Structure 1
Amino acid sequence: MNQLSLFPLADRSSSPEDFVEEISNFADFGKETSIEEVDGIRYFVNEFWTAGQRQAHSIHEVSYRACFKAQLPEFFISRLTNPGDVVFDPFMGRGTTPVQAALMGRQAFGNDINPLSTLLTRPRLRPISLQSVASALKTVDWSRGAIQREDLLAFYHPATLRNLEALRLWLAERAPLGAEQVDPVADWIRMVAINRLSGHSPGFFSGRSMPPNQAVSVKAQLKINEKLGVSPPERDVAAVIMKKSKTLLKDGCAPSQVRSSLHIGAAWDVAGIPDATVDLTVTSPPFLDIVHYAADNWLRCWFAGIDPEMVAIDMHRTEDAWTAMVQRVLAEQARILRPGGYVAFEVGEVRNGKVLLERLVWKAAEELPFRRIGVMVNDQEFTKTANCWGVSNGAQGTNTNRIVLLQRL
């Protein structure tokens, strides 16, 4: 399947007025857009992209905590950029925005404070084939693996853990952390392995655990094993990697001609991106103190050889601290965006809707060189996050995307 045929390659809207008119009249899912002004902020409410699961390109099917659907960046990329334009995400997480940009023929730029993010994103921006993955896995010396951490037997059968250690040794030789050039096939294999470390089905290396977008502690996993009365079964590491690779690549991969630029560092200081070079930023920052990235990703960091204690992920526990962070991030976007470029700044619902983060973003942008266009609210009938935790839609969890729209003056 031609991956570029999945999404329209539309011309950029000629003006913000054109874009506002388009979203004001948006009715693709049979709903009219509701427009209202609250405290000086114009809100556009509709279902602007589908709430259905697995509707995006298959290469996006990588689990990560607190990530938005690919349909969100696709909506803005298709309407506010042209092929070849630069699309950027300063909080790229699993890489949804740069990967979607690449699939749509845009230049894929991204940044994250966590080096794990680059390991998840970079391999999916390069052409890859199942045959090359299978051939590479045959070169792994599985006999080299030795158990280094007995506590991880809470998750893995001893034979599985030894094979994971053998794979870590192989990856350290083929795709060492921090190297400027790494074997792209080994890079892909590491990305897939990171996403198969723990989960709730035979498609993961572990025994039955929590959903794969976060790792529980060893103590919690031992309790799960005890409650279920089971020990982790042996898994075929290579077979699991091949199965997931096949799923990821069923719709194809990123085109080879796409330029990418990924960075590791604070979102408010992306020195590697020159002034006035970005056409569109689509991003979503950490939401106050509700997501604990280091705790969620400790198992992935172990496999990748990253010390999570050395990753300076900020926790903003007050509204003032969070607003100050957003202001610094937006100031950096003002530097790197071309005049007329856009920011789509997504925030979710936190603290049961008692804190409206979009108002804090609106305030943070007030004295910066942006035109504040409004807030789009993508109102969904169903969210997978709410469902998997047994929470009724509309009761808890994130049930709307709220996107602050800004244009660089």
Structure 2
Amino acid sequence: MKREPSFVHEYLQNFRLPGQDGQTTLQPVQTTVCDVVSIQGINYHRFTNEFWTARQRQAAKIQEISYRACFKPQLPRFFITLLTDPGDVVYDPFSGRGTTSIEASLLGRSIIANDINPLSRILTEPRLSPPTLEQVRVRLYEIPDLTSPGCDLDLSMFYHPDTLRSLCSLREYLISRSNRGECDPVDQWIRMVATNRLSGHSPGFFSVYTLPPNQAVSPERQIVINRDRNQTPPFRDVREIILKKTRSLLQGIDPKQRENFVKNAENSLFLTGDARYTPEIEDNCVSLTVTSPPFLDIVQYSADNWLRCWFNGLDAAVIGKKISTARKISDWETIMQDVFRELFRITKPGGYVAFEVGEVRNGKIRLDEHVIPLGIHAGFSCCGVLINKQDFTKTANIWGVNNMSVGTNTNRIVLFYKPLAGNG
């Protein structure tokens, strides 16, 4: 099926959000608002509608891994189903928790994922080869008693002494297995789940009550939280929490999806490097890129992930120095221009890039208006900007957005197309 820009334009203009039963709703619905945005004297299409929503389709449970500043699975699914066929290659150069990769694999697409932070691969790759609950249970109870005599870091403000001993023992076991090259898919799964359960605000995490799991506070800040809440870390059973989360993540995976996972795990490519330089990826091989780049200096990934880095034996400071956190829009544009040049090289003719950006600094900067010239300069044509309306989020509140008119209450996606040879 050809998916040329004219087809995409018509689809977006006439879009109606499916109802809960998968059929187009018969209730009065919002139609797409079509207008243009003028950039450097050129008009580009802009489409505003509710193209996807959390109510439209319950995301697969296996997507429920917390990570700072990640988009909903419905976003990549929209573009994957619209613009690709089973077997096509879907890429995410800023993979994060792996939302695009997991969604693409569920849909039977081949995947390439990259993120300069090695935590991304730790959180994503195991979910492409999910073990059974019983395999996880057997492995957890095969591990020597989780009674490490001590820890190389004072984490007493987060964990009960017995929980901390168990956690440190598990950490030593996993790092040792990894260093010896013996970490199999079951070990990788346990590491992924444990990394996700390190800290949070419910009994389903190893820690005492703290901030949501997509960000780890400093030990000093946690001491203040404990004092203000008059709390001390309660005992948490590390093995049982891992099993409980495993049961939840595996819920609802059907045989076809598991088959897709197995097939795509063998052919997947995971990279841990700079998105501006990915020689491991062949020219003209990617059908669709769906990604969301770092947004200026809003999110400090290494600071948020220091506890996860510790558990996995990673140096958060070293990783943090590699991650680009441009404070000036001109510096951000310079970095993204190189990313677009690389995306143009690897995108096949007729392929697409869905580049999710947002309004930052209280709406004063609309990154889509800065991104369009970058993609054009790299050789892409711009199909337009999609603005998806969505509910106000807790994450937006964390970022200081307190109303529905600005910030992360909308997704803004610039859609680029690599012209076919001879089409300019």
Asked if TM exceeds 0.5, the reply is: yes
- CA RMSD, 1 decimal: 1.8
Is contact 1:386–1:393 with CA below 8 Å preserved after alignment?
no
**Equivalent in the alignment of 1:187:** 188
Asked if 1:173 is matched to 2:162, the reply is no
AA matched with 1:346: E
Is contact 2:363–2:406 with CA below 8 Å preserved after alignment?
no
What is the Cα deviation at residue 33 of structure 1?
0.4
1:268-291 Cα distance to aligned partner (Å, 9 max, x none)? 111111111111000000000000
Which residue of 373, 380, 385 corresponds with 1:370? 380
**Equivalent in the alignment of 2:228:** 227
How far apart are the structure 2 equivalents of 1:310 and 1:391? 31
**Equivalent in the alignment of 2:23:** none
Q: Which structure 2 residues correspond to residues 273-352 of structure 1 after superposition, within 5 A?
A: 273-311=281-319, 312-352=322-362
Q: Name the SS of the counterpart of 1:41 in structure 2.
A: strand
Which residue of 120, 123, 133 corresponds with 2:126? 123
Asked if 1:85 is matched to 2:85, the reply is no
Shift in CA distance, 329/175, structure 1 to aligned 2, threshold 3 Å: same
Asked if 1:18 is matched to 2:28, the reply is no
1:368-387 Cα distance to aligned partner (Å, 9 max, x none)? 21111110001113324246
Asked if 1:383 is matched to 2:354, the reply is no
Gaps of 5+ in 1: 1-11
Q: Which structure 2 residues correspond to residues 212-291 of structure 1 after superposition, within 5 A?
A: 212-252=213-253, 253=258, 255-258=261-264, 259-291=267-299
Shift in CA distance, 401/99, structure 1 to aligned 2, threshold 3 Å: same
AA matched with 2:15: F
Shift in CA distance, 388/307, structure 1 to aligned 2, threshold 3 Å: closer
How far apart are the structure 2 equivalents of 1:393 and 1:246? 37
**Equivalent in the alignment of 1:207:** 208
What is the Cα deviation at residue 391 of structure 1?
6.1
Over the matched positions of the two proteins, sequence identity in percent amounts to: 51
**Equivalent in the alignment of 1:110:** 113
Q: Name the SS of the counterpart of 1:320 in structure 2.
A: helix
How far apart are the structure 1 equivalents of 2:56 and 2:274? 31
**Equivalent in the alignment of 1:8:** none
Asked if 1:132 is matched to 2:135, the reply is yes
User: What is the count of residue pairs matched by the alignment?
Assistant: 396
Q: Name the SS of the counterpart of 1:363 in structure 2.
A: helix
How far apart are the structure 1 equivalents of 2:278 and 2:71? 22
Which residue of 153, 156, 170 corresponds with 2:156? 153
Shift in CA distance, 408/182, structure 1 to aligned 2, threshold 3 Å: farther
Of 289-298 and 22-31, the range deviating more from structure 2: 22-31
1:299-333 Cα distance to aligned partner (Å, 9 max, x none)? 00000110011111111100101111111111000
Is contact 1:277–1:336 with CA below 8 Å preserved after alignment?
yes
Q: Name the SS of the counterpart of 1:44 in structure 2.
A: strand
1:194-235 Cα distance to aligned partner (Å, 9 max, x none)? 000000000000000000000000000000000011110010
Q: Name the SS of the counterpart of 1:211 in structure 2.
A: coil
How far apart are the structure 1 equivalents of 2:384 and 2:89? 23
AA matched with 2:417: Q
Q: Which structure 2 residues correspond to residues 24-35 of structure 1 after superposition, within 5 A?
A: 24-28=13-17, 30-35=29-34
Q: Which structure 2 residues correspond to residues 44-59 of structure 1 after superposition, within 5 A?
A: 44-52=47-55, 55-59=58-62
Is contact 2:290–2:355 with CA below 8 Å preserved after alignment?
yes
What is the Cα deviation at residue 365 of structure 1?
1.6
**Equivalent in the alignment of 1:403:** 413
AA matched with 2:140: L
AA matched with 1:401: N
Q: Name the SS of the counterpart of 2:159 in structure 1.
A: coil
What is the Cα deviation at residue 260 of structure 1?
1.1
Of 339-348 and 167-176, the range deviating more from structure 2: 167-176
How far apart are the structure 2 equivalents of 1:395 and 1:160? 44
1:120-165 Cα distance to aligned partner (Å, 9 max, x none)? 0100111321011001001111345132245211101111111011
Is contact 1:349–1:399 with CA below 8 Å preserved after alignment?
no
Is contact 2:363–2:407 with CA below 8 Å preserved after alignment?
no
Is contact 1:155–1:232 with CA below 8 Å preserved after alignment?
yes
How far apart are the structure 2 equivalents of 1:53 and 1:349? 24
Of 66-75 and 40-49, the range deviating more from structure 2: 40-49
Q: Which structure 2 residues correspond to residues 349-364 of structure 1 after superposition, within 5 A?
A: 349-364=359-374
1:381-403 Cα distance to aligned partner (Å, 9 max, x none)? 33242467896541665111100
How far apart are the structure 1 equivalents of 2:191 and 2:388? 34
Question: Given the two structures, how large is their TM-score scaled by the length of structure 2?
Answer: 0.90
Is contact 1:140–1:166 with CA below 8 Å preserved after alignment?
no
Is contact 1:381–1:393 with CA below 8 Å preserved after alignment?
no
